[in-house]
Amino acid sequence: MAAGGNIFNAMLQEFDGAARLLGLDPGIWKILTHPKRQITVSCPIQMDNGQIEVFTGYRVQYNITLGPAKGGIRYHPDVSLDEVTALAAWMTWKCAVAHIPFGGGKGGIICDPTQMSRRELEALTRRYVAEIVDAIGPDKDVPAPDVNTNDQIMAWIMDTYSMHVGYTATAVVTGKPIEMGGSLGRREATGRGVMITTREAAKHLKFDIKGATVAVQGFGNVGSVSADLLTKIGARVIAVTDWKGGVYNKAGLDITKMIDFAKQHKTIDGFPGGEPLENNDLFKLDVDVLVPAALENQITMENAPTIKAKVIAEGANGPTTPDAHKHLHDRGVFVIPDILANAGGVTTSYFEWVQDRHGYFWEEEEVNKRLEAKMMEAFDDVLQTSIRYKTDLRTAAYIVAINRVATVTRMRGMYA
């Protein structure tokens, strides 16, 4: 995913490549390359200093053919309608690859949450929800956390929506606190999906994940859980970096201790279980598996030629630039694309929505068992498609997704 610029065009490029291979009908092609609905709202709120500020918010429902729109809401100064639209499109393809009955959506507010008080953030969240209240709902559009939004913000969204409709509607949003309708296993779900797809890739490439070496970029939610669960199936995580620094230990890092250290210090820099490592050097290491789980555009043509890994599991969204991806694919590196590798998060959000609608909550073991089955199915669908179309896994994931949305679009027919 290109940062800034016209990232919707970047999405279209990926789409076009897959649609051509699929032989997509030109009419359906047109439909699937246009957002269904883009909403722009102004959110005036009174700041703590007594002044009124007006913030711009967006909610885009890119496609709702398969079900309610699904996708996070981000709070960031760089939010734009173009970015939100591209992210909503990516959610459409991710939900379709994961084979869950959701369309794609995304929202955002142009703001700098680091400069706002808790009261200001709550006021902004509630006003934004009030402005889009007719467009969202358990059957319409189900938001979730994204950059700079968390379970507290989801709780405010759920409460504001519920106040408007007059009853408690837990299924309007996912990523909620467990106490108010969140799902067990959601926090670990993205990392768990990364572990499952990596394990399946190793099986396919016929190398043993037990004893395989792993390097992880980023040690937040996705990076730390991926590292932990890969360790638990016998892999050896030998390097981790985050925004501040990194650690290397050829014998394997103690991930449980590293998680405790990161909780205390807000970074893994200075972790005593290994030698210091520069972020840039992570991509030069001789490892079997590389997990970029930090930011977009981290693997570029500058560092891709130094990568020695057999498998790259894209925990982050858009960590690999298109030219670097082509280079890696040409060299035979097995890149598990973001819309597959990190789809465990949205899949468990779907489980959260299902549990809320039933009013019946599953044990964590049940959540994990169902996630395992969904991820295995998605991995196999993408792998078989890549073999059938003789293409890379990213293009194959798009083919699977576009085909699913296109088939239902055709079956539903044109309403006019």
Residues with active-site annotation: 106
Which residue number has the CB closest to ligand NAD?
A: 220
**Binding segment (CB under 6 A) for ligand NAD, from list 118-126, 161-169, 220-228, 369-377:** 220-228
| Closest CB to ligand NAD among residues 10, 295 | 295
State the distance between the two ends of the chain, measured CA to CA, in whole angstroms.
35
Q: Is 243 in the site for ligand NAD (CB under 6 A)?
A: yes
Q: How far is the CB of 23 from ligand NAD (least distance, A)?
A: 30
**Binding segment (CB under 6 A) for ligand NAD, from list 197-205, 237-245, 329-337, 365-373:** 237-245
Cα(215)–Cα(218) distance, integer angstroms: 10
**Number of amino acids touching ligand NAD (CB under 6 A):** 20
Site for ligand NAD in 282-341 (CB under 6 A): 293-295, 315-317
**In the set 103, 108, 218, 337, which binds ligand NAD (CB under 6 A)?**
218
Identify the DSSP state of 320.
B
Q: How far is the CB of 163 from ligand NAD (least distance, A)?
A: 27
Contacts of 29 (CB under 8 A, 6+ apart): 19
Reduced 3-state DSSP string for 341-365: HCCHHHHHHHHHHHHHHHCCCCCHH
Cα(208)–Cα(225) distance, integer angstroms: 20
Q: Is 402 in the site for ligand NAD (CB under 6 A)?
A: no
| Closest CB to ligand NAD among residues 279, 303 | 279
Q: Is 197 in the site for ligand NAD (CB under 6 A)?
A: no
Q: How far is the CB of 38 from ligand NAD (least distance, A)?
A: 21
Longest CA–CA span in the chain (Å) reads 66
301 with 322: CB under 8 angstroms? no
Amino acid at 261: F
**Other CB atoms within 10 A of residue 408 CB:** 14
Q: Is 174 in the site for ligand NAD (CB under 6 A)?
A: no
289-292/311-313 β-pairing: parallel
Residue with tokens 């402005």: 131
Site for ligand NAD in 341-360 (CB under 6 A): 342, 345
87 with 71: CB under 8 angstroms? yes
Q: How far is the CB of 357 from ligand NAD (least distance, A)?
A: 21
Residues that bind ligand NAD (CB under 6 A): 190, 217-223, 241-243, 279, 293-295, 315-317, 342, 345
